[in-house]
Amino acid sequence: MTKQQAIAIGILGFVVYISYVNNKDISRPPSLGNGNQSIAVDKNNAPDANVVIFSPEEDSKKAINDINEVRKRSGLTPLNYSTKAYQLATARAKDMNQYNYFDFTNPQTKTCTDNMKLGFGFTSEEFLAESNIRYVPVGANIGASTKNVSEVSREWAEQMASSDQNFLFPNHVAGAVGCDGNKCVFLALNYSGYGKGCRVKRQ
């Protein structure tokens, strides 16, 4: 291989990588009185890492299967997959990246899942409880990396199996996981008012 060919291959690889890394982030958990919970893998509140989580809808369906395994072990009914919840969860993750925050309510626009839901086809009688996660590798894993949503949800579900009230809320009927960059949002649908209103983590 000539030097020119090597350079050309290197440039091509960089372009492909940049086209992949055209996304942003994931989240952490507060008290769940209102049905919102988040987890921070990054306990030192480090800046967002160069991690990209790909979440095509097919992978989001697999993620719900992983969450249902956790619910099954707790004797709970499985969740149906919701395309509308997937679209809203992805929009929430993108909003956090666009406005550079990590919470249940956008501090600038005051938007949250509850006041966004009508625009995604939900009714005022349908409630969506949010959990979110920001994936930040630490130590030797701080370099750029990619993951898929089913990988993340599997780790997330196992980690939160005994403590995340949202994953284990018995009245949820459907849900989905959506990611952008290194942030993922799990939304679960219920008719019990769980997830009503816009809250922030300290609440």
**Single-letter code of the amino acid located at 55:** S
Of residues 106 and 3, more confidence is placed in: 106
Cβ contact 168:32 at 8 Å? no
Q: In the prediction, which pLDDT does 62 show?
A: 86
Q: What's the longest Cα–Cα distance across the chain? A: 66
Q: What is the mean pLDDT of the chain?
A: 74
pTM exceeding the 0.75 threshold for the entire prediction: no
Neighbours of 142 (CB within 10 A): 13
At 150, the pLDDT band (50, 70, 90 cuts) reads low
Of residues 57 and 148, more confidence is placed in: 57
- Measure the N-to-C terminal CA separation of the chain; round to a whole number of Å: 61
Q: In the prediction, which pLDDT does 72 show?
A: 92
Distance CA(49)–CA(132), nearest Å, equals 16
